[in-house]
Amino acid sequence: MMKHLLSMTDLSHEEIIELLDMAADLKEKRLRGKVTDLLKNKSIGMIFEKSSTRTRVSFEVAMSDLGGHALYLNTRDMQLGRGETVADTAAVLSRYLYCLVARVYSHDTVKELAEHASIPVINALSDLEHPCQILADLLTIREYKNRLKGLKYAWIGDGNNVCNSAILGCTLVGMEIMVACPHGYEPDEDIVEQARKMGGKVTVTHDPAEAAKDADILYTDVWISMGDEDEREKRLRDLAPYQINAELVNLAMQDVIVMHCLPAHRGEEISADVMDGPHSVVFDQAENRLHAQKSLLLRVLC
Ligand code: CP
Ligand code: NVA
């Protein structure tokens, strides 16, 4: 079976825990300066339709740390950007590479790549999901809380792609998730239903205080995702009551951790004092992208 990662649901509970354990081990090894070249002579391609700092750099460094090579492929420079089909691109790249990482606008594009590639495809963010982010986040949560099961995760803000993967990720590891968002910004209905069918404790509310109350984790993301730029003014208005700030932090557990996948906009989805305050673990999250993706690459390539 081809090991694609298009959605969090491509992983089982056991597989997530195995990936986190391996990521923790790789992190510790890197800190001790121990190198491993398990991916020697292997190249992956990274197709980007959208901007990226963390995803691009962490995948590139992950491959180089593991002895392999990552090619950055911006669609503006590819024949894909001039009308070559996704199917043909997937077929051709499969002849050179061992894995494709793709950041795309439409989730259908990663699905189409996976359908036509004979190598694993990893979703590096689509309009529907961002599973690589959630793997790193689960690693971060486990580092701070020493467990996952039974924790309360509060998502505050736009019910977007990262939120969708968080709903599935929390469900898969036995965490409760409460999403607080304005009307019209709810997470994907099918994903919420899918999570509930899997036994997930998922609540969608319009009250940020209800979600933040006794939360172990407070999480937010940008209000204007890539592709939403035309709605900027409306989004800033609608989402204004959903900022993570000291008031919300005070409603959460005393040892709450505040998370953000980054990039952040201080003064919009998160206040500067909270973003840079003692509860914030955002840079650990960013670092953990590297370790979690190394573990993922070893899983799909070895
Ligand atoms: N969090 C995240 O995916 O960041 P980038 O957009 O910088 O890759
Ligand atoms: N929701 C954001 C995440 C960026 C990492 C976006 O899609 O732009």
Question: Percentage of the chain surpassing pLDDT 70?
Answer: 99
Residue 2 has pLDDT above 90, yes or no: no
Residue 35 is inside which H or E element, if any?
Answer: none
| Confidence label for 86 from pLDDT (cuts 50, 70 and 90) | very high
Helix (H, G, I), strand (E, B) or coil at 161: helix
- pLDDT, tens digit, 9 for 90 and up, residues 235-284: 999 999 999 999 999 999 999 999 999 999 999 999 999 999 999 999 99
Active site residue 232: no
Residues 104-129 pLDDT 10s: 999 999 999 999 999 999 999 999 99
Tokens 């899918």 correspond to 194
- The domains of the chain, with CATH numbers, are 8-129+288-301 (3.40.50.1370), 133-285 (3.40.50.1370)
Distance CA 282, CA 121 (A): 27
- Say how many Å lie between the CA of residue 136 and the centre of ligand 1: 12
Return the pLDDT at 55: 98
Q: Residue 1 has what pLDDT?
A: 64
Residue list, ligand 2 pocket, CB within 6 Å = 125, 160-162, 221-222, 225-226, 261
The pLDDT tens digits of the residues spanning 154-205 come to 999 999 999 999 999 999 999 999 999 999 999 999 999 999 999 999 999 9
Around ligand 1, the residues with Cβ closer than 6 Å are 52-55, 125, 133, 261-262
Sorted by sequence, the CB contacts under 8 Å of residue 152 that are 6+ apart come out as 175, 176, 177, 178, 214, 215, 216, 217, 253
* pTM higher than 0.95: yes
ipTM of the complex: 0.99
8 A C-beta contact, residue 141 and residue 257:
yes
3-state secondary structure at position 5: strand
